[in-house]
Structure 1
């Protein structure tokens, strides 16, 4: 039977996350699986635990939110180690993209019985040529600023923290001038953001790239142009359903490699964790990570 190592972010999910893991552990062991649990004190520590477990042939379970999923998924990308997710964070957007159930019993069945399937990952190269790998998306603009505000929120959780962070970011944002290169073709863009999406979701369930698929070998590049703030708030509302992509202020490109530059310092983020400044280059790594879903 399957042998799992659960790598836990102890700050994710609070008591709810702990209760979910306890139920899941019991169900996995009742199903005949072996399970070890290790608690991380940083993302780098979690990545080290995951790599060592993979080298021993174990299936790694990332227990936490999108930062944990992306960090561990990135560390395991290209190694052949199988990854499973236990959604226990604020956003859980990559788990949502995979259609993973929140119910522990249903999730246990997936982890015990599903055959591993390859998903794409995203390689992120900074201005200093440092490379990391993430799962969900890279975003440059007002959403990166909003995510920074959401991460600093202490009294709000989940979608509420993202919404409050978004409101705060939009009120101070000035349209930025971007230079984009998608698979060698140059584009200019003036507006709020550029999002390179492997997953359809970001920001705690917002459907930023409805056409994105985690296994198609492509990035969906979503551009939101400059618009009056009242219109941008309407666009934010439409992110619940993906209807924003039908507006003339929104453009979607597709490609395997994207370079994003800007005329002024513009922040970018990746899977809710990275917090840096343009330029950045992102590349799809097709089928680079086997996952259970």
Structure 2
């Protein structure tokens, strides 16, 4: 494997943590004998273009420095290629890093693991999800109540930050209604289910540690699909805090299905994968086993 590797940097990630983290990470990797090239894109499209150019040019590894948004861009470039992925997680959520037991907000520790893995096992194989005709995703594809909160927050011009999300959440709670879904798992029959949300998990968490698909594994070739049934506002407010511990999975309104291919259809519902907008349902999510090698994963 070539010693030339590429750091893919989001300077805005975590209020500037991405740019600051690139320096100590690069220093550790250079000390381990690697030639490090840093790539900073002007916008998401430019970042993705540069990442794909690096992979096509034979870089020994693509290292995403930032949060889950930067990891998502990197995945589009390395998925189903021989190029391994490293993650220096310094964003807000960091769910992909957490799912793989990688350091969070410790760029030197992350870089040491990456360097050791490049010298040793070359990374551990991990599954990815893929939206048919669309992007790969590493953690969770979300639809329903949570995606409607995202939609509303994205439409709002003020306030900013966490307060915008909280106001969008309150507005969607006030408008809460069951969503009629049509779901199909693998080649099974179509199921018509009234639900609050449906989450398709390759990894276990989204939103910075909400364990919506808490038992999902990234190396078993199957999605865990969490279906939260029709809930009133009071019941949803009681159930939702349990998501951070994963104990919501035992609630009678929650069901979990396992499948390698999931078809979702519902009117006026948008899907988000790895926190990024994918588009309106209907869509099909397909498992791609072993689609990426992730550097630094302990235990392979």
TM-score exceeds 0.5 = yes
Greater shift, 41-50 or 73-82, is seen at: 41-50
Query: In structure 1, which of residues 137, 140, 163 is the aligned counterpart of residue 140 of structure 2?
Result: 137
For the pair 1:56 / 2:57, whether they are aligned, the reply is yes
Give 2:287's aligned residue.
284
Q: Distance in 1 between matches of 2:166 and 2:249?
A: 19
Structure 2 counterpart of 1:255: 259
Q: Flag structure 1 segments of 5+ consecutive residues without an equivalent.
A: none
Equivalent position of 2:160 in the other structure: 155
Could you say which residue in structure 2 is the equivalent of 1:242? 246
Give the conservation status (yes or no) of the 8 Å contact 1:162–1:203.
no
Deviations 1:63-104 (A, max 9, x none): 222122122213321112111112132211111111111222
TM-score, scaled relative to structure 1 = 0.90
Select 1:269's aligned residue among 257, 262, 272. 272
1:105 Cα deviation (Å)?
2.5
8 Å contact from structure 2 (residues 62, 78) kept in 1: no
Residues 212/187 of structure 1: CA separation in 2 closer, same or farther (3 Å cut): same
TM-score computed with the length of structure 2 as normaliser: 0.88
Q: 1:272 to 1:226 in 2, by over 3 A?
A: same
Partner secondary structure for residue 274 of structure 1: strand
Alignment-derived partner of residue 48 in structure 2 = 47
> CA shift at 1:261, angstroms?
0.8
Q: Does 1:30 align with 2:31?
A: yes
| Cα distance, 1:165 vs structure 2 | 4.5
**Aligned residue pair count:** 286
CA contact (8 A) 1:123 1:132 kept: yes
CA RMSD across the alignment:
2.0
Question: For residues 48 and 154 of structure 1, do their structure 2 counterparts lie closer, same or farther at Cα, with a shift above 3 Å needed?
Answer: farther
Q: 1:89 to 1:231 in 2, by over 3 A?
A: same
Q: SS of 2:181's equivalent? A: strand
Task: Report the 3-state secondary structure (helix = DSSP H, G, I; strand = E; otherwise coil) of the residue aligned with 1:111.
Answer: helix
